[in-house]
Structure 1
Amino acid sequence: MRLSAPVFHLKRQAKNLARELGIPLYKALDQIAAREGFTRWSLLAATAPAGLPASELFCRLDPGDLVLIGARPGQGKTLMGLRLAVQAMKAGRRSAFFTLEYTARDVVDRLRAIGVNPTQFDQSFELDHSNAICADYIIERLTLAPNGTLAVIDYLQILDQKRDRPDLTTQVQALRGFARQRGLIIVFISQIDRSYDPSLKPCPDLRDIRLPNPLDLALFDKAVFLSNGAVRFQTINE
């Protein structure tokens, strides 16, 4: 579907609309997307070419890695996570997507938005949207996962939202140890702090990760940041 303007122009229109109507930016983005024929902004954003393709990003990931994908809302971080999962399956590996944010239908819609038939990888893709998702739950579900499996967690900041769950640092440390022991790649989708200003730098970085609770970001090995079509890859631990 052809857009009436480049994505960055449409996003600027959404910002103006949000100010005019006094509504949150994500609602304005969805209104602009609806005008362009999409049900959600994230589906519209999937039509924009990535600055660094998922195929190249996937080649930079190694078994045992903990990876962050950080972006503000509507920039395609969930879609990038799914693209990496698809790349893993194309390479003959298994993938899993754990989400506390989306329904199964939402995930299927996003797979279709990036041109993937959800039944194509039916035997290689595990989708889990249980309310019980936390580090212990993920480890239990992936106990038999083969070496090289790529798992996406949507999203980092919500893992310890329930008070009966361990703190975020404890959960990430557990997942780090598990990933290294089993040779898995674990990708965390992450929120970016509202203070990030794209007019000051084209992409956010580790300093912009939203951390409502303490977390040592040195636990992660690599990071991918998205903003207005730009993609920035960073190696944290070499």
Structure 2
Amino acid sequence: MRANFSAEKISKDILNWIKDYFKAQPGAKGAVIGISAGKDSTIAAKLLVEALGKERVFGVLMPNGEQKDISDSLRVVDILGISYKTVNIEKAYKGLLEGIGEETLSIDAKINIPPRLRMTTLYAIAAALHYRVCGTGNKSEGFVGYTTKWGDNASDFNPIGDLTTEEVVAIGDYLDLPYELTHKTPSDGLSGKSDEEKLGFTYKQLNDFIENGSSKDAEIDEKIILKHEYNKHKGILPPKYKLG
């Protein structure tokens, strides 16, 4: 966490930033957000409610078949008092696998399909409501590309995109959200592994690298650098040919 980080100040700054964003979007009536039961979507949704009011925030639960922690998602929308809809993407997911040919796809290719289906779902609902889609990715994930391009990294605005995982949790604690939700072990909900197991290093090591240039472990630093360089394309707009 940055040495001068103040959860109180940053929370207030983010709330003002959200309000300013919507003032500049006269056609946007509110915000749609996917509620995954993870800490990022929980905290981002709370920020939306504080900035816009619960009547202008719409949550979308998107299990792929059975979601073991869906009770946490339901608890989040209940705590926040927001309207929501549950859209099970299983049929669409299985339909795509059948249409493409599941045997031709790698494990990672299959893992990336659900986030893109969820992005499509959020934008369809947002268009129907004249809302904007809120992003829930954090700075730590973004730095190493631990995100699905045109999936969970697609949004109209993102209130926590410049915060590390530790800073996001600090915001959640400041906003007085339940400890077990804000300190929940992060996982992608797709691979059956925690984020840290899949990354091969801890978020603390990653955040230390981001903030200080090193995790104090040369081998880990090399892993972080490789992921950062390899996944840079996920954080930039596609290049396009320009007429000279």
TM-score by length of 2: 0.36
Tell me which structure has the larger Cα radius of gyration.
Answer: 2
Could you say which structure has the higher strand fraction?
Answer: 1
TM-score by length of 1: 0.36
